[in-house]
Structure 1
Amino acid sequence: KLILVTGRELPDLKEVFPELSIFDKVVAENGALIYTPGSEEERTISPAPSADLVDKLKKRGVKPLSVGRSIVATWEPHQATVLDVIKKLGLELEIIFNKGAVMILPSGINKATGLTAALSDLRLSPHNVVAVGDAENDHAFLRASGCSVAVANALPAVKETADLVTKSARGKGVEDLIHKLIKLDHLIARKRSRGVLLGTAHGKKIYLSPVETVLIAGSSGIGKSTLATALTERLVEKGLQFCIFDPEGDYDGLQGAVPLGDASSAPSKDQLLELIDKPDNNIVVNGLALKVDERPDFFAELLPGLGSVRYRTARPNWLIIDEAHHLLPKKREDTR
């Protein structure tokens, strides 16, 4: 999926770049307007500009002055006048800078909120987003994304925010990034805090990368499920979606997760796919109602649908398979 996140107003954007159809979503006006090129649907997620504000700015000689569906914009050095007018009118507005541009928006509206709204439409998680930026107004949505990238010509502060910095500037940097993504299928963020904290060793924090696979093994009763449960708590803290396959009901009542199935009723594939479609849902698939010899077939039946969701959305971010020998016996060939 391709999303454009910009401070520009939509009419201006269409004029300077008519090929908007290449994007699945466009977040314009620095997060205030969501546009779907395929259907040409537009919707704002913040109020229209105050008429008093626009009138006062014009009377104070602020120009150029652009008024969008929600945004009001001008250029430096008018920021002092803008701030003074906002203060005198008692409005709850923010000033956001963009390499000389001065953008006025309702408090709390930025590229991150706009991106969140667009991702909700697409049923995608911000953890699966690679975001690219270069200016002051990019900090919010870079921090909200799973992997943030600054192009080589970005402001120094933006480079500090980003996980990665491209070697090339501007569009060439983005082009190189896309080629790398296609080749590797993932990017490893340099900021270790992007991962899941496992614990400490020799005084250093150890993080689990989102692309790693973990095997928890050992004899019965030593706390394997307890450790896995602790891991889910860290996933919830990070907002990472997980799905647990629980053949023996060890995760019954797990906080932050929706239970599916119980000791008397087996979970269904349709229920699982309906729940997993929403990025905020974590799911425990309880197979206690199934006989031991039924469990491998049940798991094999669920995998294609779940694989399709992961292909489209890269979710759930984590699959946790408890008692793996129940669901993936060595003799099976159809669940590799």
Structure 2
Amino acid sequence: QQLAHEPVSEVVPSVDDLLATRGVRKLLLMGPSKASIDGVRSIWEAAFKGRAEVTQAVPTMLEILPLGNDKSRGVMKLLHSMNVNPQMDVCAVGDGENDAEMLRVVGCGVAMSNASEKTKAVADHVLEASNDEDGVAEAIDRFVL
């Protein structure tokens, strides 16, 4: 059996210092507002083009991950270990940009009403309810039960 561990978050002096001194699996960039994150997103996308994926889970945070390291990879690995067919037996629910690939690889991808446009575009179904309005319960009721 394997366990995963994420170290405690810490503020670092610079990204260059971080990359030079440690193995990095994910960078989280947090800002005080959506506008502040939107303002720097293109800079980070250009800096990591071809090396990492820049995505957003929530409006005030960017995630930077190595290419191919997204929720779909973890879901597929888990399903493979359980001998579960993702196209026949799985329904996934999401709202953030970082959920889009996961919704794309399963047979039933459901986006909440408050989902990012990228996530809605790849979903098989888009609900009228948000995650704060019992959207997950609605998805389970409609597509699982």
TM-score scaled by length of structure 1: 0.32
Deviation at 1:71, TM superposition (A): 1.0
Separation of aligned partners in 2, 1:157 and 1:130: 18
Partner of 1:168 in structure 2? Answer: 129
Q: Counterpart of 2:65?
A: 105
Offset at 1:98? 2.5
CA RMSD of aligned residues (A): 3.2
Identity %: 28
**Cα offsets for 1:7-29 (capped at 9, x unmatched):** xxxxxxxxxxxxxxxxxxxxxxx
Instruction: Considering Cα pairs closer than 8 Å and 6+ residues apart, tell me whether 1 or 2 has the greater RCO.
Output: 2
Give the distance between the partners of 1:141 and 1:178, measured in 2 at CA.
Answer: 17
Contact 1:57/1:82 (CA < 8 Å) preserved in 2?
no
Distance across 1 between alignment mates of 2:141 and 2:23:
35
Unaligned runs of 5+ in 1: 1-38, 45-53, 60-66, 184-336
Are 2:112 and 2:135, in contact at CA under 8 Å, matched by a contact in 1?
yes
- Following superposition, the deviation at residue 92 of structure 1 comes to 2.3
Which residue pairs with 1:142 in the alignment? 103
The residue aligned with 2:28 is 73
How many residues align? The count is: 126
Indicate how the Cα distance of structure 1 residues 162 and 69 shifts in structure 2: closer, same or farther if over 3 A, else same: same
- The 2-side partners of 1:57 and 1:139 are apart by 27
**Structure ID, larger Rg:** 1
Gaps of 5+ in 2: 6-11, 31-36
Separation (CA, whole Å) in 1 of partners of 2:144 and 2:103: 20
Would the alpha carbon gap of residues 159 and 55 (structure 1) be closer, same or farther in structure 2, given more than 3 Å must change?
same
TM-score, with normalisation over the residues of structure 2?
Answer: 0.68
SS at match of 2:63: strand
The structure with the greater share of residues assigned to helix is 2
Whole-angstrom CA distance in 1 between matches of 2:144 and 2:123: 20
CA distance in 2 between partners of 1:159 and 1:83 (Å): 21
